[in-house]
Chains A and B, each alone.
Chain A
Amino acid sequence: MPGLTRESNLNNSSLQPGTEEHIPPGRSLWADGIRRLRKQRLAVVCFWIIVFYLALAAFEWIAEARKWESPAFIRWNEIVGPSYQKPMVPYEWTTADGKTEIRREWMGTDFMGRSTFRRTLYGAKTSITVALCASLISLAIGVPLGAAAGYFRGWLDELIIWLISTLSTIPYLLLLMAFAVVLRDKTVFGLELRGITSVYLAMGLTSWVGICRLIRGEFIKRKESEYVLAARATGCSNARIIFSHLLPNVFHIIIIDLSLRFVHFIHAEVILSFLGLGETDKPSWGAMIDAARAELARDVWWEMTAATIAIFLLSLALNLFGDALRDCLDPKLRVD
């Protein structure tokens, strides 16, 4: 990042009168950001919570792809006890090989006798897959459009702004539901849009407006910067200026936006599943909450509780971490 590090270091110069000039080694924006982040203990805890969820989702994903049967917690569809078994209450259970044993499920069982704990863990895979894919789709649409609008301006900018304004006028949830319904069970270029595929596509296609507007603003601001003028003076092409100079300089904004957007997508997935438009074949937190809604009347509280705690923890961690990341990476918000 030309100039920024030196300038920053000069401002914090350790020059002492009467001593030999000493310039400490420079730090990149990222290195500096990570250094600041590590000082915030809460952010570090949140980071590890997020890592845990991501690792869990990745493990579930690999286990399913490779059809692993163990460890036990990945067998979310296995009947492990009677219907609606209460958490931590011992029960007698006859296994498939005829052995009778005393068991206890610490998050209880669902209507079919499947472990709520295992289903909650699997729900992490559903939510994170949706959030990740939707984020990537929205970035893939929003960032190039925002960059093009901000850099080239003119009719292209007007066209993109018109598109942004039009989409912004439609209430997000309605737009999301409309896309989810339209995309559901369709085949596009040979890809069958079932279950979560249609969910993350719907989310990705409807949520790029925010990042697009942000990137456009940044590009407008930065396209007249010295380093861009210098690049242009040396004969760099527009593509090179955009991809090699401007984008790396706004990348921290994309990362911050991504971390906050992730939470939003997880919530959206829960809402869609709750409304019956999300994952129907496999466990998801939204579907679990939706199912638990009717079961609360018969005092089956554990499914709702398990899914809610899982969402709460991940949302909280992502929110806190996202805020911390913004504080550390955004030069305007930096506070030492």
Chain B
Amino acid sequence: MKKRAVQVRLAASILLVLAACLPAGCRRRSDSSASERMVIRVPMFSKIQTLDCGNLTDVYSIGVASQIYESLYEYHYLKRPVELVPLLAEDMPDISEDHLTYTIRIRKGIFYHDDPCFPDGKGREVKAADFVFALKRIANVKYMSQRWTDWNGRIVGLDGFREYTKSFRRESDVDYSVEVEGLRALDDYTLRLKLTKPWPQLIWYLASAVTAPVPREAVDYYGKDIMYHPVGTGPFRLKVWERGFYIELVRNENWHGGTYPTEGEPSDWENGYLEDAGKPLPFADAIVYRIIEEFQPAWLMFLRGDLDIMQIFKDNFAQAVNPDTLTATPAMAERDIRLLVFDDPSVFWIGFNMQDPVLGPNKPLRMAVSRAVDRQAAIRLFFNGVHKVAHGYLPPGLEEYDPNIVHTDYAKYDPAEARALLQEAQRIHGGSIPPLTIAIPGTSNLDRQIGQFLQKYLADVGLQLRVDYMDWPTYLDGLNKGKLQIFFSGASPSIPDSLDMLMGFCSWNWGYGGNHFFYSNPEFDALYRQAEPMFPGPERTRLCRQMERIMLEDCPAVFLNHRVAIAIIHGWYKNAKPHEFSYNTAKYRRIDLEKRNRYKELLNELKKKSK
């Protein structure tokens, strides 16, 4: 996907929190007696699509795959603002003065997981050629990677390689030994990337599981089934994947090793995040993910101690959270349960299809919808009043976020003005506005309530709204093909860069590229092209903010809210520092087994006490 922003459903926004706070799991029969094994158990509220790193797009799959695969760089676990450190790379890249050539030295002695695809089943050492192969594979048309748009037009010669692959019938027929000028392994441990133009965001992409090295042997051995047989270098390897139900990762005994960070923010000592400083990683023996699509059973399992971490939903908010202080209620505190509250850079919106004959040419109509929606009421009803009103598009937490945007009236709720705008819209349309149709991904109770909420507020100003509740694949298909008139959606940046978000409004990214609004503004496009090769700085910030304002003036979407994530964890779940962008955090988590094993006794004591 050209767009870096990963589309997320509101109802499933949870995973981001869980991914930020770590991978998931809960327990199975075999785990109940595993009190001596350190098993991390977290729920997952949606199925994962694939574990093939070259095709990872959804946060659920990335959350699991990031524990299995490793990339050249990773985010420092504790430091904020976020910072990259080498992982499979020996050190940070050597970048030429013109910012067009990146030379990266690979660490020696990194081995893949043991797997039947290798001779004798023993994982071989990672070579620079594996990174070249992984990127060429993404470029291979027949592989059909959804991540190609990230690389489209970036690497010298890679687009030519893509053209070359079009002449083949199958992915496996392609000869990967064909040279690509901008993508070369200079030797077994040196990788060189040559760019067509400066690309400051490249370094962030090299910290994603999508760019992890892939052994050619695994691709040849498993073919299309490689999505079920990930072969990486990470601290965990896949043991069981029962689709739609259960995933278990176990510790990779051959992992190259790593230690818990010794530096962090000043508050990290106070919060206990540095208690394990310098200790060897990973702590956990296994991670168990269980897919539980209903929130309530997951909540009850958490309270019973069968899950280590859980997301707060509106229906369990009152039970778990003191709304004034955003701390755990006394009932939770006496169980040694606590909250993790953090700003999650994300934004949710009601998007308009700008090519729709009713909405596209009618800005007053789009603005009428914007004025008709009471964002505060939505936040109060659906997010317990915790989320923040989105006055603009770029979420707080990104460098280019404009704090003055809160003084604008883009998010104003004004039914009277909405009615006036609607009259103007009717004049433009040449009659009364026909019923509008919004697509909402999901059919849960929360989705339906959101649908009813929007219907109610639009009906109040005289607009009839129909709601189509769709499953996720149908919704995505409609979104990418421009079949949806209005859609309820949201995004979180996958890298800490505003251009990643703004890319979703570039005219060359329509549909699959991430511009689901089918929005086009030459001025916006020109500014984007201008900002694209710039490194972070005041000028780039100015351009990003200008782009945001241009887009907000055109009103291709009604931006609703920025998420404030609340995760709830048991006292035994250690080192759970939230990270907004990193997914490979499982290795840092530790379980205080003694505390966990005592939890049942604690529950009995509390029961007796209450009697």
Contact = CB atoms under 8 A, between A and B. Distances in A.
- A pairs with B: yes
Interface of A: 77, 79, 83, 111-112, 114, 185, 194, 276, 280-281, 287, 290-291, 293-295, 297-298
B392 to A, nearest CB: 27
A79 B318 CA distance: 22
Most interface-central of B299, B319, B449 (chain A CB within 10 A): B449
B455 A112 contact: no
B467 A291 contact: no
A79 B443 CA distance: 24
Q: Which has the most chain A C-beta neighbours within 10 Å: B318, B452, B455? A: B452
B469 interface: yes
Interface centre among B380, B381, B467, B469 (most CB of A within 10 A): B381
B453 A112 contact: yes
Interface in B451-484: 451-453, 455-456, 459, 466-469
Nearest to A195: B466
A185 B470 CA distance: 12
Contact of B443 (A276, A293, A298): A276
A272 to B, nearest CB: 13
A297 B319 CA distance: 10
B316 interface: yes
Contact of B448 (A83, A114, A280, A297): A280
Given A112-B452, A293-B445, A294-B296, A280 B469 contact: yes
Given A112-B456, A298-B315, A280 B467 contact: yes
Given A276-B448, A280-B467, A294-B296, 9 more contacts: A111-B381, A112-B381, A112-B452, A112-B453, A281-B455, A291-B445, A291-B448, A298-B316, A298-B318
Contacts of A297: 296, 299, 315-316
B445 A290 contact: yes
A185 B468 CA distance: 9
Contacts of A291: 445, 448-449
Contacts of A281: 455, 466-467
A294 B448 contact: no
Interface in B434-449: 443, 445, 448-449
A294 B453 contact: no
Contacts of A83: 380-381
Given A77-B456, A83-B381, A294 B315 contact: yes
Contacts of B295: 294
Contacts of B451: 280
A297 B320 CA distance: 13
A185 B146 CA distance: 30
A85 B416 CA distance: 28
Interface string B375-388: 00000110000000
9 contacts: A112-B449, A281-B455, A290-B445, A293-B445, A294-B296, A297-B315, A297-B316, A298-B315, A298-B319
B449 A194 contact: no
B452 A295 contact: no
Contacts of A276: 443, 448, 469
Q: Tell me which of A185, A293, A298 has the highest count of chain B C-beta atoms within 10 A of its own C-beta.
A: A298
Given A77-B459, A291-B448, A294-B296, A194 B453 contact: no
B443 A295 contact: no
A77 B453 CA distance: 10
Contacts of B467: 280-281
A293 B319 CA distance: 17
A181 to B, nearest CB: 11
A83 B384 CA distance: 11
Given A280-B469, A281-B466, A295 B381 contact: no
A194 B464 CA distance: 14
B440 to A, nearest CB: 10
A294 B452 contact: no
Nearest to B451: A280
Contacts of B445: 290-291, 293-295
- Centre residue among B299, B448, B459 by max chain A CB count within 10 A: B448
A111 B452 CA distance: 10
A114 B381 CA distance: 13
A172 B316 CA distance: 37
Nearest to A276: B443
B467 to A, nearest CB: 6
Contacts of A290: 445, 448
Interface in B289-341: 295-296, 299, 315-316, 318-319
A194 B435 CA distance: 12
7 cross-chain pairs, A with B, having the tightest CB-CB distances, nearest first: A294-B445, A276-B443, A298-B315, A297-B315, A111-B449, A297-B296, A291-B445
A79 B299 CA distance: 30
Contacts of B319: 298
Interface string B405-434: 000000000000000000000000000000
Nearest to B465: A281
Contacts of A295: 315, 445
A295 B315 CA distance: 7
A290 B443 CA distance: 11
Nearest to A77: B456
Contacts of A111: 381, 449
A83 B385 CA distance: 13
B75 to A, nearest CB: 36
Contacts of B316: 297-298
B9 to A, nearest CB: 16
A294 B299 CA distance: 12
A114 B467 CA distance: 19
Nearest to A300: B315
B298 to A, nearest CB: 12
A199 to B, nearest CB: 15
Central interface residue in A79, A83, A291, A297, by most chain B CB within 10 Å: A297
A83 to B, nearest CB: 6
A79 B455 CA distance: 13
Contacts of A114: 456
A180 to B, nearest CB: 13
A169 to B, nearest CB: 28
A273 B318 CA distance: 28
A260 B316 CA distance: 42
B166 to A, nearest CB: 37
Nearest to A277: B443
B571 to A, nearest CB: 24
A186 B319 CA distance: 43
A294 B381 CA distance: 15
Nearest to A283: B452
A183 to B, nearest CB: 14
Contacts of B456: 77, 79, 112, 114
A23 B467 CA distance: 67
Contacts of B315: 294-295, 297-298
Nearest to A294: B445
A83 B449 CA distance: 12
B376 to A, nearest CB: 13
A214 B19 CA distance: 60
Contacts of B469: 276, 280
A298 B316 CA distance: 7
Nearest to A299: B318
B164 to A, nearest CB: 43
Contacts of A77: 456, 459
